[in-house]
Chain A
C-alpha cells in the first residue's frame, strides 16, 4: 500500500523532510517504524527513542501497535506543546 508519511518539529529536522510517500506492507505502526529505521542512519536516529515520539493515523492520535489497515496518512512528531 501507499502511505503518506509526515514529520513534524525535530523529527522533520532530523529526517530532513516534511513528508514523503512510501510503499509498504507493514501491518502496524511499529512495523513501519522498523522499516524506516532500517533505511538510513537519519531515520534510525530520529526513531531511536520511541518514548519521545507520538503517532497519528489519518489525523487521529494512536499507539505504535495500531493497525495500518486502510490508513492513508501517518504522522510522526514529538509530544505536543500547545497553549
Chain B
C-alpha cells in the first residue's frame, strides 16, 4: 500500500520542512526523490505576478488519480503532491512532488511521471501579469507529447 498525500493550498509551504518530514522514519524506504517548481521570471525581468486558478474538487481528484496511477506502475511507499493556487511572485515555490521507494530508479521514474501528468491533466491554469499586460499561459504541444513516454 502506498501512502498518498495530496495538498492543494493557497499559502506558501516550507520545502525543506516538507522534505525532512516525508517518509521520515520508514525502514522499508531506501530512496526519496523530490521536485520543486518555482515561479521563473522572464529574461527581461518583466514578470510581476503569476496567478494560478484551479477547479476545486476536480483538482484533488485528478491529483489523487495521477498519484494512484504512479503507485500501480512502480513500487512506492509514499507519494506527496502539493500544489498552490492564487497570486504568486517570481521566486516563489509553486508546487512540489516527492516519491519514496525501496530503490532509487522507481522513485526517480515515478517523480518524472507525476510531473508530466501534472502539467496537462490537473486542472490548473496560469495567468502571467507583466509590465505590458496580462495573459494566460498557453499549454505546450511538448507537454502533451511527453505523456506518450509513459
Contacts and interface: CB of A to CB of B under 8 A. Distances in A.
Q: Do A and B bind each other?
A: yes
Interface stretch (B11-19, B23-31, B53-61): B53-61
Interface residues of B, number: 27
Nearest to B124: A82
A70 interface: no
Interface residues of A, number: 16
Interface of B: 37, 53, 55, 57-58, 61-62, 83, 94-95, 115, 118-127, 136-139, 143-144
Nearest to A9: B125
Given A75-B55, A75-B58, A8 B118 contact: no
Given A9-B53, A10-B136, A56-B55, A80 B61 contact: no
Contacts of B58: 56, 59-60, 75
Contacts of B119: 80-83
Contacts, number: 71
Contacts of B121: 61, 80, 82
A79 interface: yes
The B contact surface, by secondary structure, is mixed
- Indicate the member of A9, A60, A82 with the most B CB atoms within 10 Å: A82
Contacts of B126: 81
Nearest to A56: B58
Given A9-B136, A10-B136, A59-B61, A81 B55 contact: no
Contacts of A8: 53, 55, 123, 125
B139 A79 contact: yes
B121 to A, nearest CB: 7
Given A9-B127, A61-B121, A83-B115, A78 B139 contact: yes
